[in-house]
Amino acid sequence: MRPTFTRIYLNNFKHNLKQIRAKLKADTKICIAVKADAYGHGAVECAKKAVEEGVDFLAIAAVSEGIELRNAGIKIPLLMLSLCNPDEVLTAVENDITPLVFDDEYIELFAEASRKAGRKEYKVHLAVDTGMGRIGCYPEEAGVFARKISESGFLKMGGICTHFAAADSLKEEDRKYTQHQFELFLSAVENVKKEGIDPGIRHCANSVLTLDQPEMHLDMCRPGIIAYGYYPGDMNREYFEKKGNAVDLKPVMAFVARVAAVRKFKKGKCISYGCTWMAHEDTNIAVLPAGYADGIFRRFNQTGEGLKVAIDGKAYPVRGRICMDQCMVDLGKNTSVKRWDEAVIFGPAESGAVVSAQEIADATGTISYEITCGVDKYRVPKVFVE
Ligand SMILES: *Cc1c(COP(=O)(O)O)cnc(C)c1O
């Protein structure tokens, strides 16, 4: 195995799922987002753990992701949150992937595929755009499309859903916007009921609303990022504690690279492309076999105080530009670091990391999601910890 890998603490994933379950009423369903290879954590392993923990649905983004889970023996409903190509629709139905639909063409494609597959009441969920501006019909159209689904002959309303644009913000205007979106969603549900159609499972709550807004749970919550151990958006551990609604989330991923070489480095020598860093005194340099093609992006060392990695619990700065496959770490006078020692670039406390993916995200102007999703699925193997 390559000396560069992620360590996936499935025990922490399980812990986070239990924290989520504890926030819900007993009959509220849970749909865990495992799209994008479970935000970089390994869709199959996370899905299996989620099934063990009694999760009801899994959310995916692509038919290929659904096939991967079905091939791994995952039997629970899979909700596909993005649209697929027309030539994938039959495959989606054959793999029992539940699509979000919201217009004539897509409804007809799935009705036709359901007919071809010999299905009668293939469940679809109606997506409603209440202000995200992405997919969905408008709330006032929900009744019409629910009728189209019911009258297609081959489909059935399995559920109705919407997605929030600014739910994880603490700004007053964003909170109002979320409330407004929620009211529009309820009006869409009413429009379906007025047609005499059962809307099925009503769901809208992403991570933050799952933790924070029980009145928005409805029939099912759809969290993602909190299952992987990161607090959503503006909210952090203290925010929930202060509200008397404490939740203990533990990051699931550690990014590890073994020291590939330790080199003595003379004062005046430069490091990496552009020679942006020069040794001002004699030092020792560790070469790590991890770079931007693995998900350790150049910007990690180009913003704020730069990137620090942990070796044996101590923090060492990365020097110079991060390369495609490698980066260099300044050990200073420390000569105890040996070749093949583990360097932890980010991770939970127990991984020995000195920074978390959240801290890297904050320092580089992005969100934890982008850090964990950015780890390359094919180059970086995963080592699972139970
Ligand atoms: C990704 C996604 C979620 C989960 O979002 P988190 O912020 O990770 O909780 C829920 N619903 C939809 C539609 C999504 O695309």
Token pair belonging to 268: 């005046």
Cβ–Cβ under 8 Å, residues 32 and 54: no
The number of the ligand 1 atom at minimal distance from the alpha carbon of 39 is 8
Q: What is the mean pLDDT of residues 90-108?
A: 98
The number of the ligand 1 atom at minimal distance from the alpha carbon of 168 is 7
Question: pTM of the entire structure?
Answer: 0.97
CA of 102 to the centre of ligand 1 (A): 18
Residue 192 has pLDDT above 90, yes or no: yes
Residue 357 has pLDDT above 90, yes or no: yes
CA of 43 to the centre of ligand 1 (A): 15
* DSSP sequence for 114-150: HHHTT-SSEEEEEEE-SSS-SS-B-GGGHHHHHHHHH
35 is a catalytic site residue: yes
Closest Cα to atom 4 of ligand 1: 224
CA of 17 to the centre of ligand 1 (A): 15
pLDDT tens for 43-57 read 999 999 999 999 999
pLDDT tens for 293-327 read 999 999 999 988 999 999 999 999 999 999 999 99
Which residue among the candidates 171, 264, 273, 338 is catalytic per the annotation?
273
What is the model's pLDDT at position 84?
98
pLDDT tens for 119-138 read 999 999 999 999 999 999 99
292 is a catalytic site residue: no
Per the DSSP assignment, residues forming a β-bridge with 270 are: 278
The number of the ligand 1 atom at minimal distance from the alpha carbon of 223 is 9
What is the model's pLDDT at position 9?
98
The number of the ligand 1 atom at minimal distance from the alpha carbon of 208 is 9
Backbone angles phi, psi at 346, to 5 degrees: -155, 160
What is the model's pLDDT at position 296?
98
**Percent of the chain whose predicted confidence (pLDDT) is above 70:** 100
Q: What is the mean pLDDT of residues 181-197?
A: 98
pLDDT tens for 240-268 read 999 999 999 999 999 999 999 999 999 99
- How far is residue 25's CA from residue 205's CA, in Å, rounded to a whole number? 14
Task: Return the best residue to mutate from 206, 249, 366, 367 for the ligand 1 pocket (most ligand atoms within 8 A of CB).
Answer: 206
CA of 384 to the centre of ligand 1 (A): 24
pLDDT tens for 5-44 read 999 999 999 999 999 999 999 999 999 999 999 999 999 9
Binding-site residues, ligand 1, Cβ < 6 A: 33, 81, 163, 206-207, 222-225, 232
Average pLDDT along the chain: 97
CA of 149 to the centre of ligand 1 (A): 24
